[in-house]
């Protein structure tokens, strides 16, 4: 890459350190050898080499330690490069990808654990691994779980409800109340259109949707359609007007209440916020409250995803699948998105399964979250291109009046609603500091809560599991570092904190409806509906 330079002084220092460490490593290895040819176990300190087969085999242990030394040195070289910050980040990412792919654990000829299993099973593990490799080649992605165990509507996405409205972009699901009374102001969930909504409704014991219903709310959820060629030309404006705004209109008609509580997750929160800004420009304020989970409004810091986005890349997308593409609008294939996100954490989401599935012949265990992760969705090209250019690349959403959406100049500060912001501390897709930045853009009363863990595991953290913790701080005047320094940690799930906050904005309790929908919007089919079952 142009403009990058590795200073000679840094290179000389790294070479010297490498030779010293390599010599020390060789001497340590020789020192562990016993007269009978055995060796004292090595301490490798990496979970890829945690099996005793690595520690007790002198050759394997030495190979693993040399690999780890090489990996550290290569990353130090990448860190020492001088040049443009984004170019340096891309070099670091590329080097890390190569390092992870080159691990000796990924190769049968170098993996003593896989070799032992092959001997113990008389080659059955290798045969099984080859069968699983062929299966994954046919399905087009690495199996992260036993997908045959799960079926949408049968053992995931099982909260009882009915589809009460649909158009060519989404189905609106209304859930059956679990309490004799419900709060008068209904609740709308807007999930990301980049994934399927049932991440919020996996199993009964970890479903945020079911939890919200059980807290006495009348809950509606947008189930986005998995786009095909018939809707490849849909734009961001379509997702706002025909998606979120239409869902709000239908909810108002069904419930008879003008005010709704609304929750957006990830890009669903971005779409929801722009929809409410469009309505504010039209003189409407339908939100009684707004909840934004791991949502970017200010795209100044987009974490690792920033590596993939620049003017040339966005322009290429616009020329191939955008609104003005020579061959017409196209789709961004869901498998491409899934592969990109998997390689953001390759050791956890790629190589771990290569070793287990193919080298050891082990079938991955059933896991609902990973089944959802593999159930990818396409994206309409024009919508995706608009999103890339106007948010990730040019960051216009934070500038009042810089964007015209659905014919209106949008200004997020005109949304008149209390807002609950949630960020995950280890989120690599929406850095928690960036989620916090949204607090400076909206003008209503605000609460920011920081949860432990990552983008998904931090959000899906039911109280009964009594796992993790969350942080709160009422002071939102300073930057995110000041907020964190003054925050208080609480054990358990943030769900209870959010539920207490939501009740303050949900209105009085009224008798729960006996049937979903109304005379105008009658039930179409049981939840979870057809749209969520469509495959990419």
Work out the pLDDT band at 39, boundaries 50, 70, 90: low
Kindly tell me if the per-residue pLDDT of 2 is higher than 60.
Answer: no
**pLDDT of res. 238:** 98
Least confident segment among 2-16, 146-160, 227-241, 511-525 = 2-16
Kindly tell me if the per-residue pLDDT of 102 is higher than 60.
Answer: yes
Evaluate the omega torsion of the peptide bond into residue 489 and state whether it is cis, within 30 degrees of 0: no
The string of DSSP letters for 177-226 reads PSSSEEESS-EEEE--TTS-GGGGSSSGGG-HHHHHHHTT--EEEEEE--
In whole angstroms, give the CA distance from residue 365 to residue 383: 36
DSSP strands (E only) in 305-428: 331-332, 379-380, 404-405, 408-409, 419-424
Question: Could you tell me which residue, 44 or 110, shows the higher pLDDT?
Answer: 110
Question: Could you tell me which residue, 66 or 34, shows the higher pLDDT?
Answer: 66
Q: Which residues contact 109 (CB under 8 A, 6 or more apart)?
A: none
Kindly tell me if the per-residue pLDDT of 358 is higher than 60.
Answer: yes
pLDDT in tens, 81-98: 988 888 888 899 999 999
Work out the pLDDT band at 30, boundaries 50, 70, 90: confident
In whole angstroms, give the CA distance from residue 244 to residue 192: 12
**pLDDT of res. 252:** 98
Concerning whether 266 is annotated as a catalytic residue, the answer is yes
- What's the pTM value of the predicted model, to 2 decimals? 0.93
Mean pLDDT of 379-404: 97
Closest CA to 195 of 408, 392, 460: 460
Kindly tell me if the per-residue pLDDT of 37 is higher than 80.
Answer: no
Do residues 385 and 236 touch, judged by C-beta distance below 8 A?
Answer: no
φ, ψ of residue 526 to 5 degrees: the values are: -65, 155
Kindly tell me if the per-residue pLDDT of 38 is higher than 80.
Answer: no
Work out the pLDDT band at 300, boundaries 50, 70, 90: very high
Percent of the chain with pLDDT strictly greater than 90? 85
Kindly tell me if the per-residue pLDDT of 1 is higher than 70.
Answer: no
Catalytic residue among 193, 266, 385, 406: 266
Mean pLDDT of 165-188: 98
**pLDDT of res. 86:** 84
Do residues 516 and 523 touch, judged by C-beta distance below 8 A?
Answer: yes
Kindly tell me if the per-residue pLDDT of 104 is higher than 60.
Answer: yes
Write down the CATH superfamily of domain 161-312+400-533.
Alpha/Beta hydrolase fold, catalytic domain (3.40.50.1820)
What Å distances lie between residue 285 and 13, 21, 212, 276, 507, CA to CA?
62, 64, 23, 7, 16
The string of DSSP letters for 33-61 reads B-TTS-BPPP----GGG-SHHHHH-HHHH
In whole angstroms, give the CA distance from residue 496 to residue 449: 12
**pLDDT of res. 31:** 81
**pLDDT of res. 5:** 82
Q: What is the dihedral of CA 443, 444, 445, 446, to 10 degrees?
A: -60
Residue 405 half-sphere exposure, CB side, CA atoms within 13 Å? 35
pLDDT in tens, 283-299: 999 999 999 999 999 99
Do residues 536 and 333 touch, judged by C-beta distance below 8 A?
Answer: yes
Kindly tell me if the per-residue pLDDT of 514 is higher than 80.
Answer: yes
Work out the pLDDT band at 28, boundaries 50, 70, 90: confident
pLDDT in tens, 421-478: 999 999 999 999 999 999 999 999 999 999 999 999 999 999 999 999 999 999 998 8
Alpha helices in 102-183 (DSSP H): 112-120, 124-139
Closest CA to 175 of 225, 226, 214: 214
Least confident segment among 37-41, 105-109, 143-147 = 37-41
pLDDT in tens, 216-261: 999 999 999 999 999 999 999 999 999 999 999 999 999 999 999 9
**pLDDT of res. 305:** 87
Do residues 287 and 445 touch, judged by C-beta distance below 8 A?
Answer: no
Closest CA to 440 of 403, 412, 417: 412
Q: Which residues contact 190 (CB under 8 A, 6 or more apart)?
A: 222, 244, 247, 262, 263, 264, 265, 268, 269, 271, 272
385 token code pair: 């291109």
> What does the mean pLDDT of the chain come to?
94
Map tokens 């998995």 to a residue.
Answer: 226
Work out the pLDDT band at 3, boundaries 50, 70, 90: low
**pLDDT of res. 344:** 86
Secondary structure (3-state) at 303: helix
471 has which bridge partners?
A: 450, 489
Q: Count CB neighbours of 326 within 10 A.
A: 6
Q: Which residues contact 406 (CB under 8 A, 6 or more apart)?
A: 237, 240, 241, 245, 278
Rg (C-alpha) for the chain, rounded Å, is 26
In whole angstroms, give the CA distance from residue 472 to residue 224: 32
Listed in order, the ranges of the chain carrying CATH 3.40.50.1820 are 161-312+400-533
In whole angstroms, give the CA distance from residue 389 to residue 401: 16
Question: Could you tell me which residue, 2 or 71, shows the higher pLDDT?
Answer: 71
């Amino acid at each position: 890459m142009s403009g990058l330079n590795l200073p000679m002084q840094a290179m000389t220092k790294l070479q010297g350190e490498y030779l010293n460490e390599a010599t020390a490593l060789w001497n340590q290895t020789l020192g562990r050898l016993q007269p009978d040819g055995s060796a004292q176990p090595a301490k490798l300190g990496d979970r890829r080499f945690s099996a005793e087969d690595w520690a007790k085999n002198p050759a394997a242990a030495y190979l693993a330690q040399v690999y780890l030394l090489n990996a550290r040195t290569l990353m130090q070289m990448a860190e020492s490069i001088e040049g443009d910050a984004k170019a340096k980040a891309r070099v670091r990412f590329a080097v890390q990808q190569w390092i992870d792919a080159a691990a000796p654990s990924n190769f049968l000829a170098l993996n003593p654990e896989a070799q032992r299993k092959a001997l113990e099973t008389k080659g059955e593990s290798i045969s099984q691994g080859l069968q699983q490799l062929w299966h994954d080649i046919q399905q087009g992605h690495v199996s992260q779980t036993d997908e045959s165990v799960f079926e949408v509507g049968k053992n995931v996405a099982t909260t009882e409800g009915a589809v009460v409205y649909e158009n060519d972009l989404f189905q609106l699901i209304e859930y059956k109340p679990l309490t004799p009374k419900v709060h008068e102001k209904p609740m709308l969930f807007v999930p990301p259109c980049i994934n399927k909504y049932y991440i919020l409704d996996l199993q009964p014991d970890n479903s945020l949707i079911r939890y919200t219903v059980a807290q006495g709310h009348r809950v509606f959820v947008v189930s986005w359609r998995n786009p095909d060629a018939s809707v490849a030309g849909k734009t961001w404006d379509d997702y706002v007007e025909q998606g979120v705004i239409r869902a709000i209109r239908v909810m108002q008609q069904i419930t008879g209440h003008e005010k709704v509580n609304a929750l957006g997750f990830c890009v669903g929160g971005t779409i929801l916020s722009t929809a409410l800004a469009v309505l504010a420009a039209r003189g409407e304020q339908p939100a009684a409250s707004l909840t934004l989970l791991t949502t970017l409004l200010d795209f100044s810091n987009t974490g690792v995803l920033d590596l993939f986005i620049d003017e040339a890349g966005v322009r290429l997308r616009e020329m191939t699948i955008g609104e003005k593409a020579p061959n017409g609008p196209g789709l961004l294939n869901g498998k491409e998105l899934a592969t990109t996100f998997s390689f953001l954490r390759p050791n956890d989401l790629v190589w771990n399964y290569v070793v287990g599935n193919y080298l050891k012949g082990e079938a991955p265990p059933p896991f609902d979250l990973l089944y959802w992760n593999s159930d990818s969705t396409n994206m309409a090209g024009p919508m995706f291109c608009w999103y890339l250019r106007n948010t990730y690349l040019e960051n216009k959403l934070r500038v009042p009046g810089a964007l015209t959406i659905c014919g209106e100049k949008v200004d997020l500060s005109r949304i008149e609603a209390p807002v609950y912001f949630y960020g995950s501390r280890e989120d690599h897709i929406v850095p928690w500091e960036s989620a916090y930045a949204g607090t400076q853009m909206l003008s209503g009363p605000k609460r920011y809560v920081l949860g432990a863990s990552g983008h998904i595991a931090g959000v899906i953290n039911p109280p009964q599991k009594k796992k993790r913790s969350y942080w709160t701080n009422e002071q939102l005047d300073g930057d995110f570092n000041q907020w964190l320094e003054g925050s208080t940690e609480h054990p358990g799930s943030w769900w209870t904190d959010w539920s207490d906050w939501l009740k303050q904005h949900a209105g009085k309790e009224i008798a729960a409806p006996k049937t979903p929908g109304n005379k105008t919007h009658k039930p179409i089919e049981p939840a979870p509906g057809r749209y969520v079952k469509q495959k990419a």
